[in-house]
Structure 1
């Protein structure tokens, strides 16, 4: 059994926690992760959760009966980070109190929104990525504007709250994660797909392990 980092839930030789200090944000980021996404070696939603002080992660497909998600979705000003909405940059200085982010493939995300009309009805915010995704050949995205969950959240918060440099450590950790995974695939080692037992659903991000 490989030793696993209790914070990023990756094998210790693939740990990317160094330098990741949870960032305090005005916006509470609520990550809704498709269960299949949680099993992938590159799981940027979990890294997002530990990189932001004011964040939660909930795993599932349908959340209409989830008391916590319903409470958050019903909060005045809650929004959904998803293409087709107003530009996040247009809300600079006036970020939403709660920002939902769906973590999964585009097909999974569309199915999740169809299964959750309360979430689908939220006002949508979109971003204009300043650079291509950092997946760098590890995972093919359907179009140039598609990003990992972590990158999308980092760019959205930078647009909404300013201080883009605050979110550079989490982007750097993501790039390091991709580099380690690419090195693993090149030298023939087995990809670190198995993860430590999942934390309780909705556990808020913090500086702890």
Structure 2
């Protein structure tokens, strides 16, 4: 009996190009359907994501998967938020304009900054937040590279400032961000500590905002971890640069000479 033939490179390329149309929408060799929730998770929090146009073509974008995990997730493709893009945001804007003395603005936009309210201060037990309003929260997130996200946030401020409050997760701009080699949840090099993918950021926020937030966070993180695991399989081991090797050798020789003189 003849042994089965190994797939040719052309066959492999064709396999990689085949897309899973039934669920995750990814190439079939990195399909994540088995990790996705059987039905999108319903949340009391509405999530609105401004998705940069460049991210639509990026293979490591997490927003497409996030939208398959969550039922109340609206994606707006663009570079700024403005009136007329979202009925939900338009209604918040209109209500704020009608009554500027509203005691609680129910929209939060996530972006690190010195003026941002730490997310640890947002909770159902927080006396400054009406528990009824907590059931009607809207979380706004900017999805793109760090540079793009900052541009998108600044461009959207004139619209958001009337009805939304800036919040942030823990971050430290003085500490370098991690890479896929540092964590099983990081897909791309992050600019500084505390930065994370949109998928992880939303999961961390829902942990605080939702009554069953820990469970929701766990389900989303499970999908992200599987995505990172697939990506890690395609990475080649990092080789030290030649200049670094020479520098290390020179330092070691210097130490040896110093020791012999002593």
What band does the TM-score fall into relative to the shorter chain?
A: 0.7 to 0.9
Equivalent in the alignment of 1:113: 153
| Match runs of 1:16-95 below 5 Å | 16-21=32-37, 22-68=40-86, 70-71=89-90, 74=93, 76-84=105-113, 85-93=116-124, 94=131, 95=134
SS where residue 185 of structure 1 aligns? coil
Equivalent in the alignment of 1:165: 215
* Structure-1-length-normalised TM-score: 0.77
Separation in structure 2 between the aligned mates of residue 183 and residue 72 of structure 1, nearest angstrom: 45
Would you say 1:142 and 2:142 are equivalent positions?
no
Separation in structure 2 between the aligned mates of residue 134 and residue 8 of structure 1, nearest angstrom: 24
Q: Cα deviation per residue 1:154-187 (whole Å; 9 max; x = unaligned)? A: 0011012253122212211111111111212339
On the 8 A contact 2:35/2:226 being kept in 1, the answer is no
RMSD, aligned CA: 2.5
Question: Cα–Cα, structure 1 residues 134 and 25, in superposed 2: closer, same or farther, change >3 Å?
Answer: farther
Q: Cα deviation per residue 1:112-131 (whole Å; 9 max; x = unaligned)? A: 122222135621121237xx
Equivalent in the alignment of 1:185: 235
Deviation, structure 1 residue 87: 2.2
SS where residue 123 of structure 1 aligns? strand
Question: Cα–Cα, structure 1 residues 146 and 120, in superposed 2: closer, same or farther, change >3 Å?
Answer: farther
Quick check: which has more Rg, 1 or 2?
Answer: 2
* Structure-2-length-normalised TM-score: 0.63
Residue 174 (structure 1) aligned to one of 224, 232, 236 = 224
On the 8 A contact 1:158/1:164 being kept in 2, the answer is yes
Aligned residues: 185
Question: Cα–Cα, structure 1 residues 64 and 181, in superposed 2: closer, same or farther, change >3 Å?
Answer: same
The gaps in structure 1 that reach 5 residues or longer are 188-209
Deviation, structure 1 residue 72: 5.5
SS where residue 29 of structure 1 aligns? strand
The gaps in structure 2 that reach 5 residues or longer are 1-13, 96-104, 125-130, 172-176, 238-262
